[in-house]
Amino acid sequence: MVKAGLIAAGLLLSSMNAQAASQTLDKMKSTGAVTMGVRESSIPMSYTTGDSRFDGYHVEICRMILGDIKDKLGMNTLRINYQPVTSQNRVPLVQNGTVDIECGTTTNNTARAKDVGFANTLYVEEVRIAVKANSGIKSIADLNGKKVATTTGTTSVQLLRKHERANGVNFDEVFGKDHADSFLLLESGRADAFVMDGSILAGNIANSKNPKDYKIVGEVLSTEPIAIMVRKDDPEFKAAVNAAIAKIVANGNMPKLWNKWFLSPIPPKNIVVGLELSPATKNAWANLNDKPAEDYNKK
């Protein structure tokens, strides 16, 4: 009698556990839909191709992941709703459940890991400096007395501040509301340099009126794992995402995806970003992990 009660209690508990474990998977099953957080202008990671359609390296990977999860849940169709997010609202939107899976350009760091969960890294970003080709700026030391643009609400601001203090290079910071604004600051001469993730710089340059007028110069200021963001309190969903990622990597898709988004013409304007695969990213594919940026920059 006691034993049966225990088993019943155990069953009840385990079924409750299953219910509490993954709100996201349950939500996908019951509504047949999932909300993907995307960026408007983070070419080629995640961007709009017009008419509220979104595409990009991370967006395509996320579609593959969601397709895999759909199959696992035994669903026939899964509707993907796209929700544009910004640097400022992406973490709150994942926390409050508006966005189920964020496929933008979010750095995995310990501060954010307190609020959200991160899937295994598939892209390692290097923070670089973009300047006008004729500016004569070649490294961070040349930035002395110059105006340096970066985007409000990104980690690059902090990075810049630390470098400024550490190396005694004095520059004025100017802040763009978003990446397009920051690039406009560089384009209109309001800033002499734009410090940001290499892919964003390459994307904005490729998309500009005269791509030849700009170049990416200087040392790598920081190495940061960019990861797909999921809810923190849903380890089961995160495990499903990571399993799908492992499958994509094992199938040898990653070099093809890199080639497609970073080295070939991409829609809507058939521009070429032209960012070579870095050893850091290659390493992340070979050794899948969700280490935060702090672990990457330990010396």
Partner 1 sequence: MDLGIFCKGTLDQEPVEHCFSALFALGKNPDPSYLDWLMKAWGWTLAVAVLGLFLALILGAVMGTLRTLPPENKLNRFLVRFSTAWVELFRNIPILVQVFLWYHVVPAFIPVLKSFPSYLLVSIALGFFTSARIAEQVRAGIQSLPSGQKSAATALGLTTFQSYRYVILPMALRIVIPPLTSESMNLIKNSSVAFAVSVPELTLFAMQAQEETSHGVEIYLAVTLLYALSAFAVNRVMAYIEKRSRIPGFIVANSEAAAH
Binding site residues, partner 1, CB under 8 A: 87-88, 91-92, 111-112, 114-115, 149, 152-155, 157-158, 161-162, 165, 173-177, 181, 184-185, 188-190
Closest CB to partner 1 among residues 72, 165: 165
Q: Least CB distance from residue 199 to partner 1, whole Å?
A: 19
Closest CB to partner 1 among residues 150, 242: 150
Euclidean distance between CA atoms 14 and 3, whole angstroms = 16
Q: Least CB distance from residue 209 to partner 1, whole Å?
A: 14
Q: Least CB distance from residue 155 to partner 1, whole Å?
A: 8
Give whole-number Cα distances, 13 to 2, 19, 24, 167, in Å: 16, 10, 19, 57
Euclidean distance between CA atoms 245 and 79, whole angstroms = 20
Closest CB to partner 1 among residues 89, 207: 89
Closest CB to partner 1 among residues 19, 158: 158
DSSP the chain: -HHHHHHHHHHHHHHHHHHHH-HHHHHHHHHSEEEEEE-SEETTTEEEEETTEEESHHHHHHHHHHHHHHHHTT-S--EEEEEE--TTTHHHHHHTTS-SEEEEEEE--HHHHTTEEEPPP-EEEEEEEEEETTS---SGGGGTT-EEEEETTSHHHHHHHHHHHHH----EEEEESSHHHHHHHHHTTS-SEEEEEHHHHHHHHHHSS-GGGEEEEEEEEEEEEEEEEEETT-HHHHHHHHHHHHHHHHTT-HHHHHIIIIISEETTTTEE---PPPHHHHHHHHS-----HHHHT--
Q: Please identify which residue in the block is written with the tokens 């191709």.
A: 49
Q: Least CB distance from residue 172 to partner 1, whole Å?
A: 10
Q: Are 95 and 231 in contact (CB under 8 A)?
A: yes
Q: Least CB distance from residue 206 to partner 1, whole Å?
A: 22
Q: Least CB distance from residue 251 to partner 1, whole Å?
A: 36
Closest CB to partner 1 among residues 177, 291: 177
Q: Least CB distance from residue 156 to partner 1, whole Å?
A: 11
Q: Least CB distance from residue 48 to partner 1, whole Å?
A: 21
Closest CB to partner 1 among residues 66, 186: 186
Closest CB to partner 1 among residues 70, 231: 231
Closest CB to partner 1 among residues 77, 188: 188
